[in-house]
Structure 1
């Protein structure tokens, strides 16, 4: 806790907001399986896990847009909206069937969350994943009691990097953003936090849309979840 406290200076650390995909859970194997199923259902070739890993982080619609532009070999601006809607529905259907059997918690996640909870720090999950997929994943890994507040990608009209989801999470936790730290793995998390003057700590093993997280401007970067404690 002391390492994250230093990011706030003299303001007491009262809450931690956690991204889900790439931060708490390596969810790409299930996302990739669902995306490949959807691509094949729509008549496109499967993309494979390694490629899907570079597309994750901005929510399912953006993931589908990136998949379709790859499949059609066009720019994102040229991806037909109608085909995106069909592919998105196919992806949601496949992901709803299985969103967690291949996923795993990153090392040290449970121990760290339990440590912060015991220390009286309030915890929330702020993700761009739709709520209907987020809650089952948290339940699969027994994280619901550790993360009682959840703000998903469809909870509000906007999602990260817009700061509104972080503001809502702080309101529901009953804390000020000035007493919270965002913990994530991508530029979305950093931009959303910094828009509020909130520090952002990032893990180096996440996704960040395939770009080096070291260049995204995190206030703290760690290689293992336990390094945040």
Structure 2
């Protein structure tokens, strides 16, 4: 058995519960982001943003995403006034984005290969599971339902479920409480430095997928306990 597989097996043998991220970990939602954001920009009379620009902005919550998109688009029009105009546009942008995202939620996204098989194996092993995402809860729950993933999780928490978002450790600590598990025996599975930093600060082991977003940066340089190309490797 390869060393990395042995390490994963050893880690799972010390695990009572698993916390799984959503965007970039279970579901490729970049198409949803691209569609909703460009519908929002159209409503505001602003130019569209290229899909490849969005990846580096995803992962820190919808408020951060919208401000990043607005600042990027407005900077091309008037760099000196971009930050001021971003805040001026934000309330209208937020309302428009929420409306459009809920309309298309899941329509332009797909579950990554191996996710269903991996979650099924973890569930069959008797592990308690929660989904913890920085996505608003009103977006996360319908997406999990639409993609047939909701039944794997006893708890689902979004970026607005607690006072702070990942990479702050608070969401992980609160999720561990809800699962009734100790952080040291609760595995965080994510795709980015946000997940890893939150897990380290909370005292949870962390494994990252290699195919996610990670703010557009290579995930291999992130401090984690392991990396997997598919959730089936956690089986």
| Band the TM-score falls in, shorter-chain normalisation | over 0.9
Greater fraction helix: 2
* C-alpha deviation, 1:165, in angstroms: 1.0
Report the Cα distance in structure 2 between the residues aligned to 1:4 and 1:84, rounded to whole angstroms: 43
* SS in structure 1 at match of 2:57: coil
Quick one: which of 137, 140, 152 aligns to 2:143? 137
Quick one: which of 28, 31, 36 aligns to 2:30? 28
Aligned-residue RMSD, C-alpha: 1.9
Contact 1:36 1:46 in 2 (8 A): yes
Unaligned segments of structure 1, at least 5 residues: none
Aligned to 1:59: 61
Contact 1:24 1:109 in 2 (8 A): yes
Aligned to 1:182: 188
Report the Cα distance in structure 1 between the residues aligned to 2:165 and 2:67, rounded to whole angstroms: 16
Question: Aligned residue pairs: how many?
Answer: 227
Report the Cα distance in structure 2 between the residues aligned to 1:12 and 1:222, rounded to whole angstroms: 18
Question: What TM-score comes out, normalization by structure 2 length?
Answer: 0.90
* SS in structure 1 at match of 2:150: coil
Aligned to 2:11: 7
* SS in structure 2 at match of 1:221: strand
* C-alpha deviation, 1:49, in angstroms: 2.0
Report the Cα distance in structure 1 between the residues aligned to 2:121 and 2:205, rounded to whole angstroms: 20
Report the Cα distance in structure 2 between the residues aligned to 1:26 and 1:139, rounded to whole angstroms: 15
Unaligned segments of structure 2, at least 5 residues: none
* C-alpha deviation, 1:72, in angstroms: 1.0
Q: 1:68 and 2:70 equivalent?
A: yes
* C-alpha deviation, 1:225, in angstroms: 2.4
